[in-house]
Amino acid sequence: MVRRLSTADDGFEATFAALVEAPRAAAENIAAAVSEIVAAVRTGGMTALVDYTKRFDRFDLTAENICVGEEEIAQAESRCDSETLAALDFAAARIRAYHEKQKPEGLRYTDEAGVTLGWRWTPVDAAGLYAPGGRAAYPSSVLMNAIPAKVAGVGRLCLCVPAPDGSMNPLVLAAARRAGVDEIYRIGGAQAIAAMAWGAGPIGPVDVIVGPGNAYVAEAKRQVFGRVGIDSIAGPSEILVVADGANVPDWIAADLLSQSEHDPSSQSILMTDDAGFADQVAAAVEVQLAASPRREIAAAAWRDNGAIILVRSFDEAPALVDRLAPEHLELAVADPEALLEKIRHAGAIFLGRHAPEAVGDYVAGPDHVLPTARAARYASGLSVLDFMKRSSIIGCDPEGLAAIGPAAARLADAEGLPSHAQSIRLRLK
């Protein structure tokens, strides 16, 4: 039985607060183990990669096979069915088009004091992308991580994918080629993150590392942060569906299960103003669960982390939505735009009854790498900005410096920094 909350209940605030604060990802104490791997790769390079790959992936890495060649990628593609490849192409084109629109612009201007000001955006030189291997290999994630880098203008994009027992997912290779990945390496885990951060064997160091992975990969990203930039550390996925009683219960049930089926720690929440509809959805979830090939995972997630929240009116929804700050938010109501106006925190927002979250996972265009665990209060999804940086630009001629220099020198005096003041006053003489 999924938990049911109602804003009309006396204990609602406490129950809701507990739901908001409940940790879903178990903290693993692997910092020391990861630190050892990172240090070993940093000092040992290729030798360490060979050792760890033998141990963790049961694969004999060599200088010849570490890099996945053009021919192997072409062979992998030939094993994929053409309809799926066409869907990948369709997705890649749409993701590229959306991210192109998010490329930031620089600015240059001269202000009323005669000072030249502005900023310039430039891409990082090199980015590294991690993709899980084996059964959890998702070609869509390769597109969603690699395309923003290439749209940003990153010159060198390398991808690390583990090859457990030597096997690689052909669709992952096909996605990497479509996304413009320049180099693919057959390594995984914390050792792959360390190799991209510091360089190892044929792998040159990168400036930014992104992409999902297991707890070792996440901890390794944390540890190399500062040496390189990283995207956020992703937690289990989440969906909050705000739906009125005019929806088809089966559709909403499938939306809820589309997150539950990811992982037992995923969270799916239905918020509705219609108790009868809530019952229908709950029943539909049970029916669909029974038929799902992923029912064990989905049932555990729904039972342990799922919830149905009954509100007296959708006027109560925005404040509750903002406290949950969900990764994915569906507004399956008659006037989604009106509700959207009142909501502030969510990673991606799906409008209307015909916008299931799954279209956002694959083909809509916006990135599917989104803030989890309430990070949507302060963080954004992956974008071209994660692969670019902004330099401020300041130019003065003697007149401009005469206009703004004295105030700066005065503040330098107040802060007790004499050379700061002197660097200005010498030029004002």
Question: How many other CB atoms are found less than 10 A from the CB of residue 237?
Answer: 25
Helices 249-260, 275-291: axis angle to 10 degrees equals 60
Nearer Cβ to its own copies (275/355): 355
Q: Answer yes or no: are the C-beta atoms of 273 and 314 closer than 8 Å.
A: yes
Helices 139-152, 170-179: axis angle to 10 degrees equals 20
The CA distance from 85 to 78, in Å, is 10
Which residue of the set 328, 330, 345, 368 is catalytic? Answer: 328
Location of structure tokens 């005469």: 402
Per the annotation, the verdict on 327 as an active-site residue is yes
For residue 310, report the phi and psi dihedrals to the nearest 5 degrees.
Answer: -95, 120
Identified binder of its own copies from the candidate list 86, 246, 319, 334, rule CB under 8 A? 86
Instruction: Please return the burial class of 117, using the count of CB atoms within 10 Å of its CB with bins 0-12, 13-18 and 19+.
Output: middle
Report if residue 21 touches its own copies, rule: CB under 8 A. Answer: no
Reduced to 3 states (helix: H, G, I; strand: E, B; else coil), residue 399 is helix
Annotated binding site for NAD(+): 130, 191, 214
Annotated binding site for Zn(2+): 259, 262, 361, 420
Q: How far is the CB of 15 from its own copies (least distance, A)?
A: 20
Nearer Cβ to its own copies (15/102): 102
Q: How far is the CB of 65 from its own copies (least distance, A)?
A: 26
Report if residue 358 touches its own copies, rule: CB under 8 A. Answer: yes
Residue 308 vs residues 194, 273, 302, 358: alpha-carbon distances, Å: 42, 10, 10, 20
Task: Point out which span in 57-65, 189-197, 272-280, 417-425 binds its own copies (CB under 8 A).
Answer: 417-425
Q: Answer yes or no: are the C-beta atoms of 261 and 298 closer than 8 Å.
A: yes
DSSP string for 7-46: TTSTTHHHHHHHHHH---SPP---HHHHHHHHHHHHHHTH
Location of structure tokens 């593609």: 77
Report if residue 36 touches its own copies, rule: CB under 8 A. Answer: no
Structure tokens at 184: 């693919």
Report if residue 39 touches its own copies, rule: CB under 8 A. Answer: no
Residues with Cβ within 8 Å of 103's Cβ and at least 6 positions away in sequence, in order, are 121, 151, 152, 384
| Binding positions for its own copies, 276-305, rule CB under 8 A | 288, 292-294, 298
| Binding positions for its own copies, 126-145, rule CB under 8 A | 135, 138-140
Nearer Cβ to its own copies (53/223): 223
Q: Secondary structure of the chain: what % helix, strand, coil (to 5)?
A: 50, 15, 35
Provide the H-helix boundaries in 188-294. Answer: 189-198, 215-224, 249-260, 275-291
| Binding positions for its own copies, 156-185, rule CB under 8 A | 171
Report if residue 350 touches its own copies, rule: CB under 8 A. Answer: yes
Structure tokens at 83: 């309809």
Of 269, 270, 286, residue with least CA distance to 278: 270
Report if residue 228 touches its own copies, rule: CB under 8 A. Answer: yes
Q: How far is the CB of 251 from its own copies (least distance, A)?
A: 5
Nearer Cβ to its own copies (37/137): 137
Task: Point out which span in 1-9, 189-197, 253-261, 273-281 binds its own copies (CB under 8 A).
Answer: 253-261
Annotated binding site: 130, 191, 214, 237, 259, 262, 328, 361, 415, 420
Which residue of the set 327, 330, 345, 357 is catalytic? Answer: 327
Q: How far is the CB of 312 from its own copies (least distance, A)?
A: 24
Nearer Cβ to its own copies (75/422): 422
The CA distance from 103 to 145, in Å, is 15
| Binding positions for its own copies, 93-122, rule CB under 8 A | 94, 97-98, 101-102, 104, 107, 109, 111, 113, 115-117, 119-120, 122
Report if residue 375 touches its own copies, rule: CB under 8 A. Answer: yes
Report if residue 219 touches its own copies, rule: CB under 8 A. Answer: no
The CA distance from 367 to 346, in Å, is 14
Annotated binding site for substrate: 237, 259, 262, 328, 361, 415, 420
Sign of the four-CA dihedral 182, 187, 188, 192: negative
Question: How many other CB atoms are found less than 10 A from the CB of residue 425?
Answer: 16
Of 158, 216, 226, residue with least CA distance to 190: 216
Per the annotation, the verdict on 368 as an active-site residue is no
Report if residue 377 touches its own copies, rule: CB under 8 A. Answer: yes
# chain residues binding its own copies, by CB under 8 A = 124
Report if residue 35 touches its own copies, rule: CB under 8 A. Answer: no
Nearer Cβ to its own copies (180/406): 406
For the window 298-337, what string marks contact with its own copies as x by the rule CB under 8 A? Answer: x-----------------------x-------------x-
Report if residue 421 touches its own copies, rule: CB under 8 A. Answer: yes
Q: How far is the CB of 360 from its own copies (least distance, A)?
A: 5
Residues involved in catalysis: 327-328
